[in-house]
């Protein structure tokens, strides 16, 4: 491999942070036992309902980023709901669940969140302000021959540095300060990360918002092609770029299958 420019490792770390790759740059938090315990007692406070047998279902992991303070996740009963409370203090990390859902089995994704306040300085279209009080993140595999030369280079550097490639595509559902619902925001670092705005502005702050999304339709809207296998889902609240405070609550995440054969 040719000599790499000095900025590339830092760029790759930033991209991998945003795109939820399962490599060494993301690692389970050693102090997450307390947060995981209520999760079992509460009956999957952020579980995935899918027609796969429970024995194969992996556990949610708290994934942290080197050099960044972690967001605090904990179980709460909020307004009579089981919820994950997230508090980000100039921090970034996520709760992630690894999956392996074939494209033909992709159906609806149901999720909910409650946000008391937006991050006023945040702008998800700018790399220096790319924070969000709430994100539901989906990570997909795909035909890697379709990647651009730049993304292939990033993926190659990621594999060299960490042993794993950058995900083929990452779709995020987000609450944006100003952009209208339905707008797609392309990540300023790589086009393989795209954010679909499902909520905008301050009108619905302070109340639970419930959503049901067609994963396949949303992926095609964002990327212009059919999705590949779904490899993971995550909750992410971050405020590291704006050095601010963000709070949110997430309800259970439910993934339904469109194919009766899924899991067989």
Question: How far is 117 from 114, CA to CA, in rounded Å?
Answer: 9
Count of domains forming the chain: 1
Q: 11: which DSSP letter?
A: H
Residue 32 has pLDDT above 90, yes or no: no
Find the domain containing 206 and state its range. 7-257
For residue 161, what pLDDT is reported?
65
Q: Could you tell me the CATH number of the domain that includes residue 125?
A: 2.60.120
Task: Judge whether 36 lies within some domain.
Answer: yes
CB 109 within 8 A of CB 138: yes
> Phi and psi of 14, rounded to 5°?
-65, -45
Task: Judge whether 180 lies within some domain.
Answer: yes
Which tens digits make up the pLDDT trace of 207-235? 999 999 999 999 999 999 999 999 999 99
Task: Judge whether 89 lies within some domain.
Answer: yes
Task: Judge whether 262 lies within some domain.
Answer: no
Task: Report, as an integer, the average pLDDT of 193-204.
Answer: 95
Task: Judge whether 38 lies within some domain.
Answer: yes
For residue 245, what pLDDT is reported?
95
Task: Provide the mean pLDDT of the chain.
Answer: 78
CA distance readout (Å), 28 to 38, 64, 74, 96, 197: 17, 6, 15, 9, 28
- More confidently predicted of 152 and 169: 169
A 10 A CB-CB count for 207 gives 10
Task: Judge whether 263 lies within some domain.
Answer: no
Among candidates 58, 148, 62, 144, which has minimal Cα distance to 101?
Answer: 58
Task: Judge whether 1 lies within some domain.
Answer: no
SS3 51: coil
Task: Judge whether 264 lies within some domain.
Answer: no
Please state at what angle helix 7-19 crosses helix 149-162, rounded to 10 degrees. 90
Residue 15 has pLDDT above 60, yes or no: no
Which tens digits make up the pLDDT trace of 96-150? 898 999 999 999 999 999 999 999 998 888 888 888 999 999 999 988 888 888 7
CA distance readout (Å), 154 to 26, 62, 260: 16, 25, 37
- More confidently predicted of 161 and 206: 206
Among candidates 159, 155, 160, 157, which has minimal Cα distance to 170?
Answer: 155
């Amino acid at each position: 491999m040719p000599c790499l420019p000095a900025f590339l490792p830092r760029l790759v770390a930033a991209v991998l942070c945003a795109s939820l790759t399962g490599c060494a740059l993301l690692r389970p938090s050693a102090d997450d036992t307390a947060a995981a315990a209520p999760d079992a007692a509460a009956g999957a406070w952020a579980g995935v309902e899918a027609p796969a047998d429970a024995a194969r279902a992996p556990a949610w992991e708290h994934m942290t980023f080197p050099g960044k303070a972690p967001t605090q996740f904990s179980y709460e009963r909020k307004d009579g709901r089981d919820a994950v409370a997230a508090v980000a203090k100039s921090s970034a990390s996520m709760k992630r669940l690894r999956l392996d859902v074939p494209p033909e089995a992709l159906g609806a994704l149901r999720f909910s969140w409650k946000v008391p306040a937006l991050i006023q300085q945040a702008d998800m279209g700018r790399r220096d302000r790319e924070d969000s009080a709430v994100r539901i993140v989906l990570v997909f595999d795909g035909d890697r021959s379709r990647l651009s030369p730049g993304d292939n280079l990033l993926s190659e550097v990621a594999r060299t540095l960490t042993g794993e490639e950058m995900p083929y595509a990452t779709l995020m559902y987000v609450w944006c300060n100003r952009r209208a619902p339905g707008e797609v925001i392309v990540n300023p670092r790589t086009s393989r990360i795209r954010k679909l705005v499902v909520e905008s502005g301050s009108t619905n702050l302070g109340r639970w918002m419930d959503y049901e999304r067609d994963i396949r339709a949303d992926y095609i809207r964002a990327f212009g092609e059919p999705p590949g296998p779904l490899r993971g889902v995550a909750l992410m609240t971050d405020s590291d770029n704006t050095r601010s405070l963000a709070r949110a609550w997430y309800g259970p995440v439910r993934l339904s299958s469109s194919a009766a054969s899924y899991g067989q």
